[in-house]
C-alpha cells in the first residue's frame, strides 16, 4: 500500500484507457496521482470498466525513458525473468504527464481472453492525494469470460437477436453472470457517476490514513461500554444466566439501540443487540460468567484502558476464529463490505457455499456443506461485525450503508490479518 498525502493537492496524470479492437470503442479517462503505483492503476481500471479482478494482468512496453518494462502482480518468487512487481512501480516512472499522446505501454487483463487496454497520456492534472476520478468514457464494460473482444461482440449480437438459434442459451448465460435481466443489459450505456462512486471507494481502501484515537473509541464503542460497565465487580446475571433487565435497558438506551425495538425492552430475549454483543464478548474472551455475575477476563482488564491495543485484539479475534469455514466466510464478508460488491441477496449464501466447496471443506460425513450451514456462517460473521460501529452510526446494524472511514480502517486491518 503506497503512502499518500491526504487533503492536499498533488500532481496527477490524466490517462485515456481504451480496450483495443472494440467497436464502438470502449474507453475511460482517469485521473490518478503521479505517485500511484501500477497496482493502484490496475485497481482503478478494474473499477472504471466494471471488471471483477478475477484474472492476472500485466503492463508491458517502454516507459518514458525508453526502457523496456514488464510489470505484473505476482509474488516476487514467481516473477518471470526481467519482470517487476506492480506494487513497486509508480506512474511517474512510466508516463510523462507533460507529453500527451499514445504511450508505448499496454495493460493486458485476462491472459486467456486477452483484453488489451491501450493507454494515452492526456496531460497533467491536480487532485486530492487520496482520490481517483473518471472524467469521461463510453460504452458498458465487457463481460468477464465472454471470449475476448470478438466473443463479447458475439454475445451482444446474439442476445440482441431473438431469432438467433443460440439466443436463449446466450440470454441465460448473460443473466447468470450479470444477475440482471436481459432488459437491463445495455452495451452502449456508461454511467460516469457509478464509475466515480466505485473509484471513491477504491481510493478510501488504498489510502485510508492513520487511525485516530477518536476513531478507535467510536468503532469500539459497544465493546468499551460493556467492559466499563462490568468494571471490577462485574455485571449481575439472572438465575438463567442473562443480564438483568436494568442492565439491558441501560445498554439499549445509552448505546442508541432503542430503535426499532420497543423503548421498554428489558430482557435479552427481546433485545437482540445486547444478547449478540454479550455473547461475542464472551467468545472473544473479554467477558466470562462466574456464578451470578459477568466478569472481565484477564485480557479485558489489561486492555480496558488501552483502546488501541483492544482494537488490535478484536481485529485479531475476527481474523482468527478457530474454524476454517468461519475464516473463509469472514474473508468474503469483509471483502464485500470493503468493495461494495455483495452478491444479490438471493445468491449470497450460495456464493458462501460454493467458496466452502472450492476450499475443500465438507461435513464430518464427507458431504457438501448444506446451504443453511453456509447461511449460518455468513450470519455469524455479520453479527460479529455489527457489534462494532463500522458504518458511522450508533444505530444497531449496517443497513445499506457504506463503512465509514474508521470502519474501512478496521476492516482493512482484519483483512490484512486474514492474509497473514
The CATH number of domain 9-141+190-206, selected from 2.30.330.10, 3.10.290.30, 3.40.50.150, 3.40.50.1220 = 3.10.290.30
Length of the chain: 420
Residue 412 CA to residue 415 CA, distance in Å, equals 5
Give the closest residue to 313 by CA, choosing from 329, 302, 326.
302
Phi, psi angle pair for 370, to nearest 5°: -65, 155
Cα distances from 214 to residues 217, 241, 408, in angstroms, run 5, 34, 15
pLDDT at 420: 80
Question: 248 forms bridges with which residues in the sheet?
Answer: none
Give the closest residue to 83 by CA, choosing from 75, 92, 94, 91.
75
Residue 371 CA to residue 308 CA, distance in Å, equals 38
H-type helices in 213-342, by residue range?
213-219, 221-230, 245-254, 272-283, 298-303, 307-319, 324-339
Residue 89 CA to residue 145 CA, distance in Å, equals 28
Whole-model pTM?
A: 0.89
Residue 275 CA to residue 252 CA, distance in Å, equals 11
pLDDT, tens digit only, all 420 positions of the chain: 444 445 588 899 999 999 999 999 999 999 999 999 999 999 999 999 999 999 999 999 999 999 999 999 876 567 788 899 999 999 999 999 999 999 999 999 999 999 999 999 999 999 876 799 999 999 999 999 999 999 999 999 999 999 999 999 999 999 999 989 999 999 999 999 999 999 999 999 999 999 999 999 999 999 999 999 999 999 999 999 999 999 999 999 999 998 877 767 889 999 999 999 999 999 999 999 999 999 999 999 999 999 999 999 999 999 999 899 999 999 999 999 999 888 888 899 999 999 999 999 999 999 999 999 999 999 999 999 999 999 999 989 876 689 999 999 999 999 999 988
pLDDT at 75: 64
Compute how many other C-beta atoms are within 10 angstroms of the C-beta atom of residue 52. Answer: 13
Which residues contact residue 291 at a Cβ distance below 8 angstroms, ignoring those fewer than 6 apart?
A: none
Residue 212 CA to residue 220 CA, distance in Å, equals 12
The CATH T-level fold of domain 223-305 is Arc Repressor Mutant, subunit A (1.10.10)
Cell numbers placing 75: 509474488
CB 37 within 8 A of CB 91: yes
pLDDT at 259: 80
pLDDT at 169: 97
Which residues contact residue 155 at a Cβ distance below 8 angstroms, ignoring those fewer than 6 apart?
A: 143, 146, 147, 170, 173, 174
Residue 73 CA to residue 59 CA, distance in Å, equals 10
Amino acid at each position: 500500500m503506497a503512502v499518500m498525502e491526504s487533503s492536499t493537492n498533488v500532481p496527477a496524470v490524466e490517462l485515456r484507457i481504451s480496450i483495443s479492437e472494440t467497436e464502438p470503442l470502449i474507453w475511460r479517462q482517469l485521473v490518478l496521482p503521479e505517485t500511484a503505483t501500477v497496482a493502484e492503476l490496475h485497481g482503478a481500471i478494474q473499477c472504471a470498466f466494471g471488471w471483477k479482478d478475477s484474472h492476472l494482468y500485466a503492463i508491458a512496453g517502454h516507459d518514458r525513458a525508453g526502457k523496456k518494462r514488464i510489470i505484473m502482480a505476482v509474488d516476487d518468487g514467481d516473477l518471470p525473468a526481467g519482470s517487476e512487481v506492480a506494487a513497486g512501480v509508480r506512474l511517474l516512472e512510466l508516463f510523462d504527464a507533460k507529453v500527451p499522446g499514445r504511450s508505448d505501454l499496454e495493460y493486458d487483463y485476462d491472459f486467456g481472453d486477452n483484453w488489451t487496454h491501450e493507454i494515452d497520456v492526456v496531460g497533467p492534472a491536480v487532485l486530492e492525494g487520496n482520490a481517483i476520478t473518471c472524467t469521461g468514457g463510453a460504452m458498458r464494460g465487457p463481460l468477464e469470460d465472454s471470449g475476448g473482444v470478438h466473443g463479447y461482440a458475439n454475445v451482444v449480437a446474439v442476445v440482441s437477436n431473438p431469432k438467433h438459434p443460440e439466443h436463449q442459451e446466450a440470454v441465460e448465460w448473460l443473466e447468470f453472470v450479470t444477475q440482471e435481466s436481459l432488459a437491463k443489459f445495455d452495451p452502449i450505456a456508461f454511467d460516469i457517476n457509478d464509475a466515480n462512486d466505485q473509484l471513491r471507494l477504491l481510493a478510501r481502501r488504498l489510502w485510508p490514513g492513520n487511525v485516530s484515537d477518536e476513531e478507535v473509541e467510536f468503532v469500539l464503542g459497544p465493546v468499551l461500554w460493556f467492559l466499563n460497565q462490568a468494571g471490577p465487580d462485574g455485571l449481575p446475571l439472572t438465575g438463567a444466566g442473562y443480564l438483568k433487565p436494568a442492565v439491558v435497558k441501560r445498554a439499549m438506551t445509552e448505546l442508541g439501540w432503542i430503535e426499532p425495538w420497543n423503548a421498554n425492552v428489558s430482557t435479552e430475549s427481546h433485545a437482540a443487540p445486547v444478547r449478540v454483543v454479550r455473547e461475542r464478548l464472551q467468545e472473544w474472551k473479554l467477558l466470562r460468567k462466574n456464578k451470578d455475575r459477568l466478569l472481565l477476563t484477564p485480557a479485558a482488564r489489561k486492555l480496558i484502558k488501552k483502546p488501541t491495543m483492544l482494537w488490535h485484539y478484536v481485529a485479531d479475534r475476527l481474523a482468527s476464529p478457530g474454524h476454517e469455514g468461519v475464516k473463509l466466510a469472514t474473508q468474503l464478508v469483509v471483502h464485500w463490505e470493503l468493495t461494495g460488491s455483495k452478491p444479490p441477496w438471493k445468491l449470497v449464501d450460495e456464493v458462501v457455499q460454493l467458496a466452502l466447496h472450492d476450499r475443500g471443506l465438507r461435513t464430518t460425513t464427507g458431504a457438501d456443506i448444506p446451504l443453511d450451514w453456509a447461511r449460518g456462517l455468513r450470519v455469524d460473521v455479520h453479527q460479529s461485525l455489527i457489534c462494532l460501529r463500522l458504518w458511522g452510526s450508533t444505530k444497531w446494524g449496517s443497513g445499506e450503508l457504506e463503512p465509514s472511514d474508521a470502519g474501512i480502517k478496521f476492516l482493512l486491518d482484519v483483512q490484512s490479518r486474514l492474509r497473514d
